[in-house]
């Protein structure tokens, strides 16, 4: 068998890659020490047996880890090799064969490709929805109508010193408390489809509360009613978000128009499914915009002329994040660099953190997260991942999220139960006759 030098080499490597230092999981990758151990074991194994060890890297690490450090080091080389030979036999039964790609692809038929094409198109389409809706709004609205729309998410404090109207308005109610109105929400609710979505939500809720109260939903089960409610809510929220981001983008691009040191333009597209944009407000002439995730071109203006050589592509979300008014107050006078810096924002304080809790992105994120967890498979997958080794961060986050929201749920438990399950019928008292 091997000489003493080989044995000493294998043992010494094992000493610094033994159980207390091994990763023990493929999730975090393989450390340098483990890689050195693997290299030594494989080369020594091949020199002793004449073939490479037919065990996965993680399998080899697990074998070493499952043998105590002292015991592994003290073993003869023959016994160490025997461990991996035995493992090879076990791995024969669980090894995953390498399937033929051609054989797998050959199973794809027309329905498969048709559905895949639909999914691909839907995915891409969702990314360009802000531009699609912006184009449609620009087609039917005049510039004055567009400009007079409040900036979504803005309050009375946000619009002080500007000619904007606030999006969110709170007024004292006659009976006490406050009435809160949101322009962009009302805009969505005023559309026929917005009304339809809201009606579906209201009717499903009412039918859940009192069975038979809504004629068109009479006879439907609770699960089906919840599905109707959730579907309508997702549609309503999607429409609301598209309106908000499109109006936000319009206002930001209009503000950049007023910056003398920056110019912007659309990057033209040629694909038949590209977003289309009217050449002017309420114009019947259109041009196509690139389906790229960054279809907006910003260039610096130097000595009164755009420097296209220094132009760069930007996404709609990046433009929305910019603060042109803030950029204009910077010492350089509102350059492209100032515009980029304006998106960085100020360090968060407890007050600004509290304000961010109500922004659309945070609210929508919770809605999307809940929708995914409402799916049994998604929920089961999260539970499985959270308890896997080396997933302490995920497990901690899930537990912390529960504790953060528990108080909120406790305060709204009765409302939530009635909303989801409907009001329960009063229970009649029962007793026994003596």
pLDDT digits (tens, 9 = 90+) for 363-418: 667 776 777 777 777 788 888 888 877 677 788 788 888 888 888 888 888 888 77
Domain boundary among 342, 370, 396: 342
The widest CA-to-CA distance across the chain, in whole angstroms, is 102
Asked whether residue 321 falls in the same domain as residue 244, the answer is yes
CA distance 196 to 187: 14
Both 299 and 375 in one domain: the answer is: no
For the chain, how are helix, strand and coil distributed in percent, rounded to 5? 60, 10, 35
pLDDT at site 206: 92
Q: Is residue 215 in some structural domain?
A: yes
Angstrom distance (rounded) from CA 297 to CA 312? 6
- Nearest alpha-carbon partner for 37 in 54, 4, 59: 59
CA distance readout (Å), 72 to 10, 47, 68, 87, 336: 10, 20, 6, 15, 63
Q: Is residue 350 part of a domain?
A: no
Cβ–Cβ < 8 Å for 60, 30: no
Q: Are residues 82 and 160 in the same domain?
A: no
CB neighbourhood size of 297 (10 A): 18
Using an 8 Å Cβ cutoff, are 229 and 201 in contact?
A: yes
The sign of the CA dihedral 221, 227, 230, 236 is negative
φ, ψ of residue 119 in degrees (nearest 5): -65, -40
Residues 325, 255 contacting (CB under 8 angstroms): yes
Do residues 406 and 338 share a domain?
no
Output the pTM of the full model: 0.61
How many domains, the chain?
A: 3
C-alpha distances (whole Å) from 65 to each of 8, 41, 74 are 19, 14, 15
Co-location of 337 and 368 in the same domain: no
* pLDDT at residue number 95: 57
Which residues in 185-206 are b (16+ Cβ under 10 Å) and which e?
bebbeeeeebeebeebbebbbe
Q: What is the pLDDT of residue 261?
A: 95
Residue span of the structural domain in which 217 resides: 122-342
- What is the CB neighbour count within 10 angstroms for residue 227? 14
Co-location of 127 and 40 in the same domain: no
Question: Under a CB-based contact definition with an 8 Å cutoff, are residues 87 and 67 in contact?
Answer: no
Q: Any alpha helices (H) in 50-182, and if so which ranges?
A: 57-66, 69-74, 77-94, 101-105, 110-127, 129-140, 143-147
Domain boundary pick from 94, 113, 145: 94
Residues 6 or more apart whose CB falls under 8 angstroms from that of 394 comprise: 385, 386
Q: Does one domain contain both 210 and 278?
A: yes
Pair 393, 329 in one domain = no
Is residue 105 in some structural domain? no
What's the DSSP call for residue 280?
S
- In terms of C-beta density within 10 A (0-12 exposed, 13-18 middle, 19 or more buried), how is residue 5 classed? exposed
Whether residues 232 and 275 fall in one domain: yes
What is the DSSP code (8-state) at residue 424?
P
Are residues 393 and 323 part of one domain?
A: no
CA distance 405 to 423: 24
pLDDT beneath 50: ranges in the chain: 1-6, 8-9, 12-28, 351, 355, 426-434
One domain for residues 293 and 365:
no
**Which run of H or of E encompasses 194?**
helix 192-209
Q: What is the pLDDT of residue 364?
A: 62
Nearest-CA neighbor of 419 among 148, 226, 177? 226
* H or E segment to which residue 263 belongs: strand 262-266
Give kind and range of the element (H or E) at residue 188: helix 183-189
Q: Kindly report, residue by residue over 312-330, the tens digit of the pLDDT.
A: 999 999 999 999 999 999 9
d(CA 240, CA 188): 6
Residue 170: inside a domain = yes
Rounded CA separation 131/127 (Å): 9
Last residue of a domain, one of 79, 94, 109: 94
The answer to whether position 397 is within a domain reads yes
Residues 336 and 401 in one domain: no
Q: Is residue 428 part of a domain?
A: no
Answer whether residue 315 is part of any domain.
yes
SS3 247: helix
The DSSP bridge partners found for residue 305 are 302
């Amino acid at each position: 068998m091997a000489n003493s030098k080989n044995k000493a080499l294998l043992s010494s490597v094992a000493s610094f890659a033994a159980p207390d230092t091994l990763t023990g999981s493929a999730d975090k990758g393989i450390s340098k020490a483990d890689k050195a151990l693997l290299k030594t074991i494989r080369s020594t194994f091949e020199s002793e047996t004449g073939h490479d060890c037919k065990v996965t890297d993680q399998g080899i690490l697990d074998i070493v880890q499952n043998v105590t450090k002292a015991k592994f080091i003290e073993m003869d080389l023959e016994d160490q090799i025997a461990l991996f030979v035995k493992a090879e036999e076990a791995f024969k039964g669980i090894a995953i064969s390498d399937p033929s790609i051609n054989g797998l692809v050959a199973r794809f038929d027309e329905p498969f490709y048709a559905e895949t094409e639909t999914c691909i198109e839907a995915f891409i389409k969702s990314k360009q929805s802000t531009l699609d809706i912006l184009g449609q709004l620009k087609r039917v609205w005049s510039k004055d109508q567009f400009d007079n729309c409040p900036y979504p998410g803005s309050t009375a404090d946000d619009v002080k010193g500007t000619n904007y109207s606030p999006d969110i308005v709170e007024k004292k109610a006659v009976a006490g408390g406050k009435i809160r109105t949101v322009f962009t929400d009302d805009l969505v609710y005023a559309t026929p489809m917005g009304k339809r979505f809201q009606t579906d939500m209201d009717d499903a809720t009412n039918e859940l509360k009192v069975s038979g109260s809504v004629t068109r939903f009479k006879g439907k089960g609770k699960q089906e009613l919840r599905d109707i409610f959730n579907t309508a809510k997702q549609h309503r929220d999607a429409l609301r978000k598209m309106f908000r981001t499109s109006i936000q983008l319009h206002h930001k691009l209009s503000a950049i128009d007023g910056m003398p040191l920056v110019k912007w333009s659309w990057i033209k597209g040629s694909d038949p499914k590209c977003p289309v944009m009217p050449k002017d407000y309420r114009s019947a002439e259109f041009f196509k915009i690139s389906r790229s995730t960054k279809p907006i071109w910003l260039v610096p203006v130097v000595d009164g002329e755009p420097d296209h050589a220094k132009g760069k592509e930007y996404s709609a979300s990046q433009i929305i994040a910019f603060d042109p008014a803030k950029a204009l107050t910077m010492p350089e006078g509102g350059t492209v660099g100032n515009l980029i810096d304006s998106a960085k924002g100020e360090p968060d304080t407890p007050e600004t953190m509290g304000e961010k809790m109500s922004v659309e992105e945070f609210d929508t994120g919770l809605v999307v997260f809940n929708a995914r967890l409402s799916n049994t498979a998604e929920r089961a997958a999260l539970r499985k991942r959270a308890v896997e080794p080396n997933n302490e961060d995920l497990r901690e986050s899930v537990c912390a999220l529960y504790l953060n929201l528990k108080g909120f749920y406790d305060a709204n438990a009765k409302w939530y139960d009635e909303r989801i399950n409907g009001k329960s019928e009063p229970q009649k008292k029962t007793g026994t006759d003596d």
